[in-house]
Chains A and B, each alone.
Chain A
Amino acid sequence: IVLTQTPLSLPVTPGEPASISCRSSQSLLNGDDGNTYLDWYLQKPGQSPQLLIYTLSSRASGVPDRFSGSGSGTNFTLKISRVEAEDVGVYYCMQRIEFPTFGPGTKVEIK
Chain B
Amino acid sequence: QVQLQESGPGLVKPSETLSLTCTVSGGSISSYYWHWIRQPPGKGLEWIGSFFHSGGTNFSPSLKSQVTMSIDTSKNEIYLKLSLVTAADTAVYYCARGASSSWFGSRRLDYWGQGILVTVSS
Contacts and interface: CB of A to CB of B under 8 A. Distances in A.
A48 B112 contact: yes
Contacts of A37: 104, 107
A97 B112 contact: no
A13 interface: no
Contacts of A101: 47
The dominant DSSP class at the A interface is loop
Interface residues of A, number: 27
16 contacts: A37-B104, A37-B107, A41-B45, A43-B45, A48-B112, A49-B45, A49-B112, A51-B108, A51-B109, A51-B110, A61-B110, A97-B104, A99-B60, A100-B35, A102-B44, A102-B46
Interface of B: 35, 44-47, 58, 60-61, 94, 99, 104, 107-110, 112-115
